[in-house]
Structure 1
Protein backbone atom coordinates (compact mmCIF):
# COMPACT_ATOMS: atom_id res chain seq x y z
CA UNK A 1 0.00 0.00 0.00
CA UNK A 2 2.59 2.55 1.15
CA UNK A 3 4.98 1.55 -1.63
CA UNK A 4 2.35 1.93 -4.34
CA UNK A 5 1.24 5.31 -3.00
CA UNK A 6 4.81 6.64 -2.81
CA UNK A 7 5.55 5.36 -6.31
CA UNK A 8 2.38 7.00 -7.53
CA UNK A 9 3.45 10.35 -6.07
CA UNK A 10 6.79 10.10 -7.88
CA UNK A 11 5.07 9.20 -11.16
CA UNK A 12 2.59 12.03 -10.76
CA UNK A 13 5.17 14.82 -10.36
CA UNK A 14 5.89 15.28 -14.11
CA UNK A 15 2.16 15.42 -14.86
CA UNK A 16 1.74 17.87 -11.99
CA UNK A 17 4.32 20.14 -13.61
CA UNK A 18 2.36 20.09 -16.87
CA UNK A 19 -0.89 20.69 -15.02
CA UNK A 20 0.62 23.63 -13.14
CA UNK A 21 1.47 25.38 -16.41
CA UNK A 22 -1.92 24.57 -17.93
CA UNK A 23 -3.86 25.71 -14.88
CA UNK A 24 -1.98 29.02 -14.92
CA UNK A 25 -3.53 29.57 -18.34
CA UNK A 26 -6.97 28.76 -16.95
CA UNK A 27 -6.45 31.19 -14.07
CA UNK A 28 -5.56 34.00 -16.46
CA UNK A 29 -8.42 33.30 -18.89
CA UNK A 30 -11.00 32.95 -16.12
CA UNK A 31 -10.06 36.34 -14.67
CA UNK A 32 -10.25 37.89 -18.14
CA UNK A 33 -13.74 36.35 -18.50
CA UNK A 34 -14.90 38.16 -15.37
CA UNK A 35 -14.34 35.55 -12.65
CA UNK A 36 -13.02 36.78 -9.34
CA UNK A 37 -9.79 35.24 -8.06
CA UNK A 38 -11.76 33.28 -5.46
CA UNK A 39 -14.29 32.00 -8.01
CA UNK A 40 -11.46 30.92 -10.28
CA UNK A 41 -9.65 28.97 -7.56
CA UNK A 42 -12.81 27.35 -6.19
CA UNK A 43 -13.79 26.24 -9.70
CA UNK A 44 -10.41 24.59 -10.14
CA UNK A 45 -10.56 22.88 -6.75
CA UNK A 46 -14.08 21.54 -7.21
CA UNK A 47 -14.06 20.61 -10.91
CA UNK A 48 -10.38 19.64 -11.28
CA UNK A 49 -10.77 18.76 -14.96
CA UNK A 50 -8.90 20.86 -17.48
CA UNK A 51 -10.96 19.99 -20.55
CA UNK A 52 -14.27 20.60 -18.76
CA UNK A 53 -13.11 23.88 -17.24
CA UNK A 54 -11.86 25.26 -20.55
CA UNK A 55 -14.99 24.10 -22.39
CA UNK A 56 -17.27 25.76 -19.86
CA UNK A 57 -15.15 28.91 -19.95
CA UNK A 58 -15.33 29.03 -23.74
CA UNK A 59 -19.14 28.88 -23.62
CA UNK A 60 -19.39 31.62 -20.99
CA UNK A 61 -16.98 33.96 -22.78
CA UNK A 62 -18.92 33.37 -26.00
CA UNK A 63 -22.09 34.64 -24.37
CA UNK A 64 -23.60 31.26 -23.53
CA UNK A 65 -25.65 30.53 -20.42
CA UNK A 66 -24.42 28.83 -17.27
CA UNK A 67 -26.55 25.79 -18.17
CA UNK A 68 -24.87 25.55 -21.58
CA UNK A 69 -21.47 25.86 -19.92
CA UNK A 70 -22.27 23.00 -17.53
CA UNK A 71 -23.52 20.89 -20.44
CA UNK A 72 -20.31 21.51 -22.38
CA UNK A 73 -18.20 20.54 -19.38
CA UNK A 74 -20.28 17.42 -18.84
CA UNK A 75 -19.83 16.35 -22.44
CA UNK A 76 -16.11 16.94 -22.22
CA UNK A 77 -15.89 14.68 -19.16
CA UNK A 78 -18.00 11.96 -20.74
CA UNK A 79 -14.91 9.77 -21.15
CA UNK A 80 -14.87 9.24 -17.38
CA UNK A 81 -18.00 7.08 -17.66
CA UNK A 82 -16.08 4.41 -19.55
CA UNK A 83 -12.97 4.88 -17.42
CA UNK A 84 -14.96 4.68 -14.19
CA UNK A 85 -16.71 1.52 -15.33
CA UNK A 86 -13.33 -0.13 -15.85
CA UNK A 87 -11.97 1.13 -12.52
CA UNK A 88 -14.98 0.30 -10.32
CA UNK A 89 -14.26 -3.42 -9.71
CA UNK A 90 -10.83 -2.50 -8.27
CA UNK A 91 -12.30 -0.21 -5.61
CA UNK A 92 -13.42 -1.84 -2.32
CA UNK A 93 -16.34 -0.85 -0.12
CA UNK A 94 -19.93 0.20 -0.63
CA UNK A 95 -21.29 2.62 -3.25
CA UNK A 96 -20.47 5.79 -1.30
CA UNK A 97 -16.92 4.73 -0.43
CA UNK A 98 -16.24 3.63 -3.99
CA UNK A 99 -17.69 6.88 -5.35
CA UNK A 100 -15.42 8.91 -3.09
CA UNK A 101 -12.37 6.91 -4.16
CA UNK A 102 -13.39 7.38 -7.78
CA UNK A 103 -13.10 11.16 -7.39
CA UNK A 104 -9.32 10.73 -7.50
CA UNK A 105 -9.45 9.45 -11.07
CA UNK A 106 -7.88 11.67 -13.71
CA UNK A 107 -6.54 10.69 -17.11
CA UNK A 108 -2.87 10.22 -16.29
CA UNK A 109 -3.56 8.49 -12.96
CA UNK A 110 -6.01 6.09 -14.56
CA UNK A 111 -3.52 5.15 -17.27
CA UNK A 112 -0.62 4.68 -14.85
CA UNK A 113 -2.65 2.65 -12.35
CA UNK A 114 -3.87 0.27 -15.06
CA UNK A 115 -2.16 -3.09 -14.53
CA UNK A 116 -3.03 -4.20 -18.06
CA UNK A 117 -5.10 -7.18 -16.95
CA UNK A 118 -8.36 -5.36 -16.29
CA UNK A 119 -7.46 -4.37 -12.72
CA UNK A 120 -6.10 -1.15 -11.23
CA UNK A 121 -3.71 -0.33 -8.39
CA UNK A 122 -5.89 2.06 -6.41
CA UNK A 123 -3.08 3.27 -4.14
CA UNK A 124 -0.96 4.09 -7.17
CA UNK A 125 -3.98 5.98 -8.51
CA UNK A 126 -4.33 7.96 -5.27
CA UNK A 127 -0.62 8.77 -5.12
CA UNK A 128 -0.41 9.87 -8.74
CA UNK A 129 -3.39 12.19 -8.41
CA UNK A 130 -2.19 13.93 -5.24
CA UNK A 131 0.67 16.00 -6.77
CA UNK A 132 -1.48 16.72 -9.82
CA UNK A 133 -4.23 18.18 -7.63
CA UNK A 134 -1.74 20.30 -5.70
CA UNK A 135 -0.09 21.49 -8.91
CA UNK A 136 -3.45 22.32 -10.49
CA UNK A 137 -4.54 24.36 -7.49
CA UNK A 138 -1.21 26.18 -7.25
CA UNK A 139 -1.09 26.98 -10.96
CA UNK A 140 -4.65 28.31 -10.93
CA UNK A 141 -3.84 30.58 -8.00
CA UNK A 142 -0.72 31.87 -9.75
CA UNK A 143 -2.70 32.60 -12.90
CA UNK A 144 -5.58 34.19 -11.02
CA UNK A 145 -3.41 36.54 -8.98
CA UNK A 146 -0.50 37.04 -11.40
CA UNK A 147 -2.25 37.11 -14.75
CA UNK A 148 -1.07 40.62 -15.53
CA UNK A 149 2.52 39.42 -15.35
CA UNK A 150 1.87 36.47 -17.71
CA UNK A 151 0.10 38.50 -20.38
CA UNK A 152 -1.10 36.69 -23.51
CA UNK A 153 -1.19 32.95 -22.75
CA UNK A 154 -1.14 32.02 -26.45
CA UNK A 155 2.09 33.99 -26.89
CA UNK A 156 3.70 31.81 -24.23
CA UNK A 157 2.51 28.64 -25.94
CA UNK A 158 0.28 27.60 -23.03
CA UNK A 159 -2.51 26.80 -25.48
CA UNK A 160 -0.44 23.87 -26.79
CA UNK A 161 0.13 22.23 -23.40
CA UNK A 162 -3.21 20.45 -23.10
CA UNK A 163 -3.18 18.76 -26.55
CA UNK A 164 0.44 17.72 -25.96
CA UNK A 165 -0.53 16.21 -22.61
CA UNK A 166 -3.15 13.97 -24.21
CA UNK A 167 -0.85 12.99 -27.06
CA UNK A 168 1.61 11.77 -24.42
CA UNK A 169 -1.06 9.56 -22.84
CA UNK A 170 -2.08 8.28 -26.28
CA UNK A 171 1.51 7.32 -27.11
CA UNK A 172 1.75 5.36 -23.87
CA UNK A 173 -1.38 3.36 -24.79
CA UNK A 174 0.02 2.63 -28.26
CA UNK A 175 2.85 0.63 -26.67
CA UNK A 176 0.37 -1.97 -25.43
CA UNK A 177 -0.84 -4.27 -28.24
CA UNK A 178 -4.10 -4.91 -26.35
CA UNK A 179 -5.06 -1.23 -26.27
CA UNK A 180 -3.42 -0.08 -29.51
CA UNK A 181 -6.46 -0.56 -31.76
CA UNK A 182 -8.79 1.21 -29.31
CA UNK A 183 -6.35 4.12 -28.84
CA UNK A 184 -5.89 4.59 -32.58
CA UNK A 185 -9.60 4.34 -33.31
CA UNK A 186 -10.42 6.85 -30.57
CA UNK A 187 -7.83 9.28 -31.91
CA UNK A 188 -9.15 9.01 -35.46
CA UNK A 189 -12.77 9.55 -34.37
CA UNK A 190 -11.87 12.58 -32.25
CA UNK A 191 -9.72 14.22 -34.96
CA UNK A 192 -12.41 13.64 -37.59
CA UNK A 193 -15.12 15.33 -35.51
CA UNK A 194 -13.18 18.29 -34.06
CA UNK A 195 -13.57 20.61 -37.10
CA UNK A 196 -17.38 20.60 -37.18
CA UNK A 197 -18.84 19.46 -33.84
CA UNK A 198 -19.33 21.34 -30.53
CA UNK A 199 -16.74 20.98 -27.74
CA UNK A 200 -17.08 17.70 -25.90
CA UNK A 201 -18.76 15.73 -28.69
CA UNK A 202 -15.46 14.41 -30.19
CA UNK A 203 -14.43 13.10 -26.75
CA UNK A 204 -17.78 11.40 -26.20
CA UNK A 205 -17.72 9.80 -29.64
CA UNK A 206 -14.10 8.71 -29.29
CA UNK A 207 -14.92 6.98 -26.00
CA UNK A 208 -17.16 4.53 -27.90
CA UNK A 209 -13.99 2.92 -29.20
CA UNK A 210 -13.66 1.31 -25.77
CA UNK A 211 -16.74 -0.80 -26.61
CA UNK A 212 -14.41 -3.00 -28.63
CA UNK A 213 -13.54 -4.58 -25.30
CA UNK A 214 -17.01 -6.14 -25.23
CA UNK A 215 -15.77 -8.68 -27.75
CA UNK A 216 -14.30 -10.53 -24.78
Structure 2
Protein backbone atom coordinates (compact mmCIF):
# COMPACT_ATOMS: atom_id res chain seq x y z
CA UNK A 1 0.00 0.00 0.00
CA UNK A 2 1.42 3.39 -0.98
CA UNK A 3 1.68 6.33 1.39
CA UNK A 4 -0.99 8.27 -0.50
CA UNK A 5 -3.40 5.31 -0.38
CA UNK A 6 -2.82 4.80 3.36
CA UNK A 7 -3.46 8.50 3.99
CA UNK A 8 -6.64 8.39 1.92
CA UNK A 9 -7.88 5.41 3.94
CA UNK A 10 -7.11 7.14 7.23
CA UNK A 11 -9.01 10.34 6.49
CA UNK A 12 -12.55 8.88 6.55
CA UNK A 13 -11.77 7.10 9.81
CA UNK A 14 -10.49 10.29 11.41
CA UNK A 15 -13.51 12.26 10.18
CA UNK A 16 -15.92 9.64 11.51
CA UNK A 17 -14.06 9.44 14.83
CA UNK A 18 -14.10 13.20 15.35
CA UNK A 19 -17.78 13.40 14.39
CA UNK A 20 -18.71 10.70 16.91
CA UNK A 21 -16.49 12.37 19.50
CA UNK A 22 -18.17 15.74 18.98
CA UNK A 23 -21.70 14.32 19.06
CA UNK A 24 -21.10 12.27 22.20
CA UNK A 25 -18.85 14.72 24.01
CA UNK A 26 -21.39 17.50 23.63
CA UNK A 27 -23.84 15.57 25.78
CA UNK A 28 -21.39 15.77 28.69
CA UNK A 29 -23.10 19.06 29.50
CA UNK A 30 -26.18 17.05 30.46
CA UNK A 31 -24.21 14.96 32.92
CA UNK A 32 -22.62 18.03 34.47
CA UNK A 33 -26.06 19.57 35.00
CA UNK A 34 -27.47 16.27 36.31
CA UNK A 35 -24.58 15.89 38.74
CA UNK A 36 -25.07 19.26 40.39
CA UNK A 37 -28.85 18.75 40.40
CA UNK A 38 -28.29 15.51 42.32
CA UNK A 39 -26.34 17.37 45.00
CA UNK A 40 -22.78 16.85 43.80
CA UNK A 41 -20.37 19.75 43.67
CA UNK A 42 -18.91 20.96 40.38
CA UNK A 43 -15.62 19.23 41.14
CA UNK A 44 -17.27 15.99 42.21
CA UNK A 45 -19.15 15.90 38.90
CA UNK A 46 -15.94 16.59 37.00
CA UNK A 47 -14.06 13.91 38.95
CA UNK A 48 -16.67 11.32 37.94
CA UNK A 49 -16.24 12.18 34.27
CA UNK A 50 -12.46 12.15 34.57
CA UNK A 51 -12.09 8.92 36.55
CA UNK A 52 -15.21 6.89 35.77
CA UNK A 53 -15.62 8.02 32.13
CA UNK A 54 -18.51 5.86 31.04
CA UNK A 55 -21.60 7.93 30.44
CA UNK A 56 -24.30 5.35 31.16
CA UNK A 57 -22.78 4.42 34.51
CA UNK A 58 -22.34 8.07 35.44
CA UNK A 59 -25.98 8.87 34.72
CA UNK A 60 -27.10 5.76 36.62
CA UNK A 61 -25.12 6.82 39.68
CA UNK A 62 -26.35 10.41 39.85
CA UNK A 63 -29.89 9.36 38.90
CA UNK A 64 -30.18 7.04 41.89
CA UNK A 65 -28.56 9.60 44.19
CA UNK A 66 -31.00 12.26 42.98
CA UNK A 67 -33.98 9.96 43.61
CA UNK A 68 -32.95 8.50 46.98
CA UNK A 69 -30.53 11.09 48.38
CA UNK A 70 -26.74 10.81 48.88
CA UNK A 71 -26.96 8.72 52.05
CA UNK A 72 -29.58 6.17 50.98
CA UNK A 73 -28.81 6.09 47.26
CA UNK A 74 -25.04 5.78 47.23
CA UNK A 75 -24.88 1.98 47.58
CA UNK A 76 -27.61 1.24 45.04
CA UNK A 77 -26.23 3.93 42.74
CA UNK A 78 -22.79 2.35 42.76
CA UNK A 79 -24.34 -1.08 42.12
CA UNK A 80 -26.25 0.27 39.12
CA UNK A 81 -23.12 1.94 37.78
CA UNK A 82 -21.12 -1.28 38.10
CA UNK A 83 -23.83 -3.25 36.30
CA UNK A 84 -23.81 -0.89 33.35
CA UNK A 85 -20.01 -0.63 33.36
CA UNK A 86 -19.71 -4.40 33.01
CA UNK A 87 -20.32 -4.05 29.28
CA UNK A 88 -16.95 -2.32 28.93
CA UNK A 89 -15.24 -5.53 30.05
CA UNK A 90 -16.90 -7.37 27.16
CA UNK A 91 -15.75 -4.63 24.81
CA UNK A 92 -12.21 -5.01 26.13
CA UNK A 93 -12.18 -8.71 25.28
CA UNK A 94 -13.20 -7.90 21.71
CA UNK A 95 -10.68 -5.07 21.35
CA UNK A 96 -7.69 -6.90 22.82
CA UNK A 97 -7.01 -8.73 19.59
CA UNK A 98 -7.33 -5.57 17.52
CA UNK A 99 -5.23 -3.21 19.61
CA UNK A 100 -2.52 -5.65 20.78
CA UNK A 101 -1.14 -3.33 23.45
CA UNK A 102 0.97 -3.85 26.55
CA UNK A 103 2.32 -1.89 29.50
CA UNK A 104 1.19 1.71 30.16
CA UNK A 105 -0.50 2.00 26.76
CA UNK A 106 -2.76 -0.90 27.67
CA UNK A 107 -3.81 0.84 30.88
CA UNK A 108 -4.55 4.05 28.97
CA UNK A 109 -6.50 2.13 26.35
CA UNK A 110 -8.57 0.44 29.06
CA UNK A 111 -9.73 3.85 30.26
CA UNK A 112 -10.88 4.72 26.74
CA UNK A 113 -12.87 1.51 26.16
CA UNK A 114 -16.38 2.91 25.79
CA UNK A 115 -19.33 2.33 23.48
CA UNK A 116 -18.18 4.86 20.90
CA UNK A 117 -14.50 3.92 20.63
CA UNK A 118 -15.45 0.25 20.39
CA UNK A 119 -18.08 0.85 17.72
CA UNK A 120 -15.71 2.84 15.51
CA UNK A 121 -12.85 0.37 15.99
CA UNK A 122 -14.79 -2.78 15.09
CA UNK A 123 -16.38 -1.08 12.08
CA UNK A 124 -13.02 -0.76 10.29
CA UNK A 125 -11.88 -3.27 7.65
CA UNK A 126 -8.30 -3.70 8.89
CA UNK A 127 -6.47 -3.66 12.26
CA UNK A 128 -4.43 -0.50 11.58
CA UNK A 129 -7.59 1.50 10.88
CA UNK A 130 -9.29 -0.08 13.90
CA UNK A 131 -6.49 1.16 16.14
CA UNK A 132 -6.66 4.61 14.58
CA UNK A 133 -10.42 4.79 15.05
CA UNK A 134 -10.18 3.62 18.65
CA UNK A 135 -7.58 6.18 19.72
CA UNK A 136 -9.05 9.16 17.87
CA UNK A 137 -12.62 8.43 18.97
CA UNK A 138 -11.68 7.65 22.57
CA UNK A 139 -9.47 10.72 22.83
CA UNK A 140 -12.04 13.04 21.26
CA UNK A 141 -14.86 11.82 23.49
CA UNK A 142 -12.67 12.01 26.60
CA UNK A 143 -11.58 15.61 26.01
CA UNK A 144 -15.00 16.93 25.00
CA UNK A 145 -16.96 14.94 27.59
CA UNK A 146 -14.83 16.29 30.42
CA UNK A 147 -14.86 19.84 29.08
CA UNK A 148 -18.64 19.83 28.66
CA UNK A 149 -19.14 18.24 32.09
CA UNK A 150 -17.42 21.28 33.56
CA UNK A 151 -19.58 23.61 31.46
CA UNK A 152 -22.77 21.81 32.46
CA UNK A 153 -21.91 21.60 36.16
CA UNK A 154 -20.74 25.19 36.44
CA UNK A 155 -23.55 26.67 34.37
CA UNK A 156 -26.47 24.35 35.13
CA UNK A 157 -28.72 27.15 36.31
CA UNK A 158 -27.99 29.19 33.20
CA UNK A 159 -28.17 26.42 30.58
CA UNK A 160 -31.43 24.87 31.73
CA UNK A 161 -32.52 21.47 30.43
CA UNK A 162 -30.01 20.17 27.83
CA UNK A 163 -32.83 18.33 26.04
CA UNK A 164 -34.13 21.73 24.97
CA UNK A 165 -31.16 21.97 22.62
CA UNK A 166 -31.58 18.42 21.30
CA UNK A 167 -28.35 17.17 22.87
CA UNK A 168 -30.09 14.03 24.10
CA UNK A 169 -30.40 12.92 20.46
CA UNK A 170 -26.75 13.50 19.55
CA UNK A 171 -25.26 10.23 20.80
CA UNK A 172 -28.05 7.97 19.43
CA UNK A 173 -27.78 9.73 16.07
CA UNK A 174 -24.04 9.05 15.99
CA UNK A 175 -24.64 5.36 16.66
CA UNK A 176 -27.24 5.15 13.91
CA UNK A 177 -24.64 6.52 11.53
CA UNK A 178 -22.24 3.74 12.55
CA UNK A 179 -24.94 1.09 12.36
CA UNK A 180 -26.22 1.93 8.87
CA UNK A 181 -23.32 0.32 6.91
CA UNK A 182 -23.68 -2.86 8.96
CA UNK A 183 -27.36 -3.18 8.02
CA UNK A 184 -26.39 -3.38 4.35
CA UNK A 185 -24.03 -6.30 5.01
CA UNK A 186 -26.63 -9.08 5.04
CA UNK A 187 -29.76 -10.54 6.59
CA UNK A 188 -27.92 -11.88 9.64
CA UNK A 189 -26.83 -8.38 10.66
CA UNK A 190 -30.30 -7.00 9.98
CA UNK A 191 -32.01 -9.65 12.08
CA UNK A 192 -29.58 -9.04 14.97
CA UNK A 193 -30.28 -5.29 14.81
CA UNK A 194 -34.06 -5.79 14.65
CA UNK A 195 -34.01 -8.36 17.46
CA UNK A 196 -31.89 -6.11 19.67
CA UNK A 197 -34.20 -3.17 19.03
CA UNK A 198 -37.28 -5.22 19.93
CA UNK A 199 -35.71 -6.44 23.17
CA UNK A 200 -34.71 -2.90 24.13
CA UNK A 201 -38.18 -1.51 23.34
CA UNK A 202 -39.94 -4.25 25.32
CA UNK A 203 -37.76 -3.92 28.42
CA UNK A 204 -37.21 -0.15 28.56
CA UNK A 205 -40.49 0.56 30.44
CA UNK A 206 -39.71 -2.20 32.96
CA UNK A 207 -36.01 -1.93 33.76
CA UNK A 208 -33.55 0.77 34.92
CA UNK A 209 -31.83 2.89 32.24
CA UNK A 210 -28.99 1.06 30.50
CA UNK A 211 -30.08 -2.47 31.41
CA UNK A 212 -32.22 -2.90 28.25
CA UNK A 213 -29.13 -2.21 26.15
CA UNK A 214 -27.26 -4.99 27.94
CA UNK A 215 -30.14 -7.41 27.39
CA UNK A 216 -30.42 -6.50 23.72
CA UNK A 217 -26.79 -7.47 23.25
CA UNK A 218 -27.73 -11.07 24.16
CA UNK A 219 -29.56 -11.34 20.84
CA UNK A 220 -26.24 -12.08 19.16
CA UNK A 221 -25.59 -15.20 21.29
CA UNK A 222 -27.59 -17.62 19.09
CA UNK A 223 -25.62 -16.41 16.08
CA UNK A 224 -22.31 -16.92 17.86
CA UNK A 225 -23.31 -20.42 18.99
CA UNK A 226 -24.48 -21.34 15.51
CA UNK A 227 -21.19 -20.27 13.96
CA UNK A 228 -18.98 -21.74 16.70
CA UNK A 229 -15.99 -23.53 15.16
CA UNK A 230 -16.21 -27.30 15.28
CA UNK A 231 -13.74 -29.10 17.55
CA UNK A 232 -10.78 -30.73 15.92
CA UNK A 233 -11.40 -34.51 16.10
CA UNK A 234 -7.67 -35.11 16.42
Q: What TM-score bracket applies, with the shorter chain setting the length?
A: 0.7 to 0.9
Report the counterpart of residue 127 of structure 1 in structure 2. Answer: 136
Alignment of 1:146 onto 2:155: yes
Q: State whether residues 182 and 210 of structure 1, in contact with CA within 8 Å, keep that contact through their aligned partners in structure 2.
A: yes
Judged with a 3 Å threshold, the aligned counterparts in structure 2 of structure 1 residues 55 and 75 are, in CA distance, closer, same or farther, namely same
Deviation at 1:87, TM superposition (A): 1.6
Determine helix, strand or coil for the equivalent of 2:217: helix
Report the counterpart of residue 215 of structure 1 in structure 2. Answer: 226
Which runs of no fewer than 5 residues in structure 2 stay unpaired? Answer: 1-5, 228-234
Q: TM-score, normalised by structure 1?
A: 0.83
Q: 1: distance between equivalents of 2:26 and 2:76? A: 27
Q: State whether residues 77 and 200 of structure 1, in contact with CA within 8 Å, keep that contact through their aligned partners in structure 2.
A: no
Larger radius of gyration: 2
Deviation at 1:191, TM superposition (A): 1.2
Judged with a 3 Å threshold, the aligned counterparts in structure 2 of structure 1 residues 32 and 116 are, in CA distance, closer, same or farther, namely closer
Cα RMSD (Å): 2.9
1:101-180 alignment runs, 5 A limit: 101-114=109-122, 121-177=130-186, 179-180=189-190
Alignment of 1:25 onto 2:17: no
Q: 1: distance between equivalents of 2:24 and 2:123? A: 24
Q: TM-score, normalised by structure 2?
A: 0.77
Deviation at 1:41, TM superposition (A): 0.9
Report the counterpart of residue 86 of structure 1 in structure 2. Answer: 94
Deviation at 1:173, TM superposition (A): 3.2
Alignment of 1:188 onto 2:198: yes
* Aligned residue pair count: 216
Judged with a 3 Å threshold, the aligned counterparts in structure 2 of structure 1 residues 118 and 214 are, in CA distance, closer, same or farther, namely farther
Deviations 1:124-160 (A, max 9, x none): 3112211111111111111112222212333333334
Report the counterpart of residue 43 of structure 1 in structure 2. Answer: 48
Deviation at 1:93, TM superposition (A): 4.7
Alignment of 1:10 onto 2:18: no
Judged with a 3 Å threshold, the aligned counterparts in structure 2 of structure 1 residues 163 and 185 are, in CA distance, closer, same or farther, namely same
Which runs of no fewer than 5 residues in structure 1 stay unpaired? Answer: none
Judged with a 3 Å threshold, the aligned counterparts in structure 2 of structure 1 residues 83 and 141 are, in CA distance, closer, same or farther, namely same
> Which range moved further: 153-162 or 29-38?
153-162
Determine helix, strand or coil for the equivalent of 1:139: helix
1:62-101 alignment runs, 5 A limit: 62-63=67-68, 64-93=72-101, 98=106, 100-101=108-109
> Which range moved further: 76-85 or 109-118?
109-118
